[in-house]
Amino acid sequence: MAHTTEEVIAGLAELINEETGISTDQVSMEKSFTEDLDIDSISMMTIVVNAEEKFDVKIPDDEVKNLTTVGEAVEFITKAQA
């Protein structure tokens, strides 16, 4: 079942919170994973793996580097579910 944009944002916020301790209300579409949320590459890979499982999508390693903001990740996951 495809998730709505809101569900994907909320789900990603939960995954980010679990991995980094960053409050879910800090996670929004325009936030950069590295600059705004200060997420390192190891934590990012964990979040990606967990997001793949949670949303039943595949995020290729070469795509991960292109997903610099929460919004880009949400858009990728939303499209990948279709």
**pLDDT tens-place string over residues 19-50:** 999 999 999 999 999 999 999 999 999 999 99
Query: pTM for the full model?
Result: 0.92
Name the CATH code of domain 5-81 (choices 1.10.1200.10, 3.10.180.10, 3.90.420.10, 1.10.10.10): 1.10.1200.10
37-43 contact pairs (CB < 8 A, 24+): 37/70, 43/19
CB 9 within 8 A of CB 54: no
DSSP 3-state assignment of 33? coil
Average pLDDT, the chain: 95
Say whether 40 is catalytic: yes
51: nearest Cα among 14, 20, 22: 14
Parse the chain into domains and list their residue ranges.
Answer: 5-81
> Which of 25, 36, 38, 40 is flagged as catalytic?
40
